[in-house]
Amino acid sequence: MTLADPRVPERPLSEAGERSAPEPGWGEVDGRILEGMDDYWVAVFWSLLPTVVVSGLFFFILRSILRADRTERRVYARIEAEERAKRGLPPEPATSER
């Protein structure tokens, strides 16, 4: 006498007394089980790809905004220093001296 696993239902017998092929279930495609780690890693790659792409875009956009702001402040300070020099005013004190 063999004990059957209660979680696995038995397949019905065919007319010839043989067990029928199992119906495709979870993890099966066209009757074959998706085997190997290849399918797993492909699924991991495709599920992480959108997050990585959006993070990369966010990083480059934010970096360009910060660089533009830094450059604009530098140019504005240079122009302001030139105008102060034209009018004979003393140079503006550094930010840390205020």
Residue 85 in contact with residue 77, Cβ under 8 Å? Answer: no
The pLDDT value recorded for residue 93 is 77
Mean of per-residue pLDDT scores for the chain: 78
Taking alpha carbons only, the member of 28, 30, 49 closest to residue 39 is 28
Q: What is the predicted pLDDT for the residue at 42?
A: 86
Assigned domain for 16 exists: no
* DSSP strands (E only) in 18-57: 28-29, 32-33
Indicate whether 75 belongs to any domain.
Answer: yes
Q: Is residue 81 part of a domain?
A: yes
38: in domain: no
**pLDDT category of residue 98 using cuts at 50, 70 and 90:** very low
Residue-wise over 2-14: b if at least 16 C-beta within 10 A, else e?
A: eeeeeeeeeeeee
Residue 2 lies in a domain: no
Residue 69 within a domain: yes
Percent pLDDT > 70 in the chain is 57
Residue from 44, 20, 41 nearest 31 by CA: 20
Say how many domains are in the chain: 1
* Mean pLDDT, residues 37-66: 92
| Confidence (pTM) | 0.49
According to DSSP, the residues that pair with 32 across neighbouring strands are: 29
> What would the mean pLDDT of 54-72 be, rounded to a whole number?
97
Average pLDDT for 56-69:
97
Q: Examine residue 32 and state whether it is found in any structural domain, yes or no.
A: no
Q: For residue 21, is it within any domain?
A: no
For residue 73, give its domain range: 52-92
